[in-house]
Amino acid sequence: MSSKASVSRHVTVPSIRSSKGQRKLIAATAYGRAITEVVDEWVDIVLIDDIATMGDFGQPTLLSFTLEHMVSHARAVSRSARRACVAAGLPFSSRHKSPAQALDSALRLLEAGASAVKVEGGVEMADTVAYLVKNGVPVIAQLRRISERAQGAVAEGGVVACDRMIQAARELERAGAFCLVLEGVGGDAAGRIAAAVSIPVLAGAGSDGQILDNEDILGLGGDFVQRMARQHADMLAVVEPTPIVQTSVPVLSIPVAPARARAFGRARSPAAN
């Protein structure tokens, strides 16, 4: 029996909510079966984020990521996750009109298998979060750095910007969010915000846990890796210099039959060349 099959505890929304002060949470992004199966055993939350539109889909902004995209990813991830809590982000176009629109969109994601939805925004989204929670939808809230000008101050623990984020975090907690993700906030500021609320805050050092993009931790994002990410593999370095790139295309253009060991349907040892 594999180690994955031996894992019987399922990470639930209540268990995440009650982890505050008890243990650090681990979260990672995933958008399909393969990565979900890799991270599922080791993380508390698998997040399907609309950042995929800029990575996997090559789009310049998040606005092109639709609810239909998210529903498709939610189905794939939820079918593959046996342990972690699956949370799907509500794309901007699926939530900005009204709380009722956000609820309709959130129900689509829950029907697709997600256990919770992520809603991005500050105090302006508190009513939407409250409406979702009132109607039985578990919500992870997300706060970004307040403005371009405030970014440096927040990252370095600036008092004014940090106080505004604390106010927003408290409003989202009162609205019913069971967890909070901070983006672009670290150090003392993250610690202050985490200490100001009773729900877990994911923002790295000083907070209650960390959420990382799988492209960062697996080396799939090219030269850019976020500072807080510990890169556990360099998959691009594995693929680019190998014969997969150097010889596969020329071989495909030569009408030569493959060796028996490479024939379709023939099992071989993983160690075989």
- What are the catalytic residues? 183
Q: At 207, is the secondary structure helix, strand, or coil?
A: coil
Q: At 118, is the secondary structure helix, strand, or coil?
A: strand
**Residue 132 is inside which H or E element, if any?**
helix 126-134
Rounded to the nearest 10 degrees, how much is the dihedral formed by the CA atoms of 14, 17, 18, 23? 120
Hunting for tokens 């789009």 — which residue is that? 59
The answer to whether 87 touches 77, Cβ cutoff 8 Å, is no
> Regarding beta strands 179-183 and 139-144, do their DSSP bridges make them parallel or antiparallel, or are they unpaired?
parallel
**In Å, how far are 145, 151, 220 from 224, measured between CA atoms?**
20, 19, 10
The answer to whether 48 touches 87, Cβ cutoff 8 Å, is yes
Partners of 27 in beta bridges: 45, 211
Residue 166 main-chain phi, psi, to 5 deg: -65, -45
The answer to whether 237 touches 244, Cβ cutoff 8 Å, is no
Contacts of residue 24, defined as CB under 8 A and 6 or more positions apart, other chains included, come to 208, 209, 210
Give the count of beta carbons closer than 10 Å to the beta carbon of residue 10.
12
Hunting for tokens 């929670």 — which residue is that? 133
Q: At 14, is the secondary structure helix, strand, or coil?
A: helix
